[in-house]
Amino acid sequence: MQFKNSVKGFVSAVEWTETWIIALGIFHFTMLLLAILSRRNSNIQIVLFCFMMGCIYLAEPLNRFLSTHWESFSTQNYFDKHGVFLSVVWSTPLLLIGAYMVIHTLIAAASLLVQVRLQRL
């Protein structure tokens, strides 16, 4: 119940119609689309995965930068010193897309392993 109330408070506190938040959503949707469309091309998957993990790695310095410059692009300062907001709207979607990519790669590897085993018989 406490978690549910926290989520409701978070969702109601954010102005979801701000241009930069919409652009961030489009960015995440584009990353998901690229991950799905490139699932048969391992080179693109590797580059995309490394790019997304690099974006997550840079979340802390990005949060510091955005907390000092928020007035130029936002109506309120969402960027606390712990980086909770950025973790939720920046890192979590990228981590979920990355997890999808890893799971898909493991399934493909398992399928390939089965094919190799069947050919040996």
Domain that holds residue 85: 2-120
Q: What pLDDT, on the 0 to 100 scale, is given for residue 7?
A: 86
pLDDT over 70 percentage in the chain? 100
CA distance 39 to 46: 10
Q: What pLDDT, on the 0 to 100 scale, is given for residue 24?
A: 98
CA distance 43 to 60: 28
Q: Indicate the pLDDT class of residue 106, thresholds 50, 70 and 90.
A: very high
Residue 52 has pLDDT above 90, yes or no: yes
Q: Indicate the pLDDT class of residue 48, thresholds 50, 70 and 90.
A: very high
* Centroid of chain to Cα 89: 8
Number of domains into which the chain is organized: 1
Task: Give the DSSP letter string of 4-72.
Answer: HHHHHHHHHHS-TTSHHHHHHHHHHHHHHHHHHHTTT-HHHHHHHHHHHHHHHHTHHHHHHHHHHHGGG
Dmax over CA atoms of the chain, in Å, equals 66
Distances (CA, A) of 115 to 38, 105, 120: 22, 15, 9
CA distance 116 to 121: 9
